[in-house]
Structure 1
Amino acid sequence: MSLNGIAAMGNPAWYGTRKAKSSTESTASGFMEIAAKMAAQDKTIDYDEKAFDMVGPNAPLDVKNAWMEAAKEVNANGLGIKSNGQMTHISEMMVQRCIKTMGGETENLDILGNSVESAIQATKQALFNLEHPAVYTSTSLAVQRECAKEREFYIAFLEKLNQL
């Protein structure tokens, strides 16, 4: 309860308002500085390589090189991660990662394995699943376009893997 603008504790009702305002301003400027730093860092991140690291941490260098070449050729990667780090859709390799996680695997989410043959098998499986969905779902045109790019990536990646 307050009386004539003085709170029950004896302080004026406006007491502390000025501190809150300056604190809010410094928080906003601090946020803007952090956002600018993060934006600068995002420009240096290669999301095709980051996507590869998520599905093939144990894969040989030849497999990684094939992935990177296919990603540059098609302008897409097997996880549906764009050059700005956003996911375009849930890709088939991401589904394979989720299936492993749901099966209780949390440490080894390696989809491509540790050989060229295992990478070929995983990519063939992802391509098959993409072309033969278990359940038909109606998706937007944008997602359909991204799935077509994903398919194009898998085909280019398989071609490069078969040349190894």
Structure 2
Amino acid sequence: MRSLTIWRTLLGVDKTVVEDVDLDLVAGVFVASVRLTRSMRNRCGSCQKRCPRYDEGAGRRRWRGLDFGSPRVFLEAAAPRVSCREHGVIVAAVPWARHQAGHTHHFDSQVAWLATQTSKAAVTVLMRIAWRTVGAIITRVWADTEKLHDPFAGLTRIGIDEIS
């Protein structure tokens, strides 16, 4: 197996080219420089439609990924803006993260699962994030889940009384 395939698998990124990896042992940070494949470039962050490129945006950006043991993991990539007919000028989509999120899909999923199994305080310590970040991640994950599943599907009866 090629080393780039191994890095893509470890980082949990699809439709992505891993350009370089860097480990800073002093800071305890692992940074993977990545770029999108041609088929994923210049897509609107909201609707995923192909759009003309507007500009380079604010340059390179980092997304937090799942830790590799003790080092924190970050994906670093260019964050250009595109001009969408529907949404206007907007940051281009990336396949590893939700729009306007600073974390990868896998990181968000891990935090959301931990929030269902343990206290919010324990999640903040384990994942090394702030209390508010846990709440924001839960909100994002729930919004995606709510689009896919009807919470009232299969409901046949509902009871309402003075105590409820």
Q: TM-score range by the shorter chain?
A: under 0.3
Choose between structure 1 and 2 for higher RCO, CA contacts under 8 A separated by at least 6 residues: 1
TM-score normalised by structure 2 residue count: 0.24
> Which has the larger share of helix?
1
> Which has the larger share of strand?
2
Q: Which has the larger radius of gyration?
A: 1
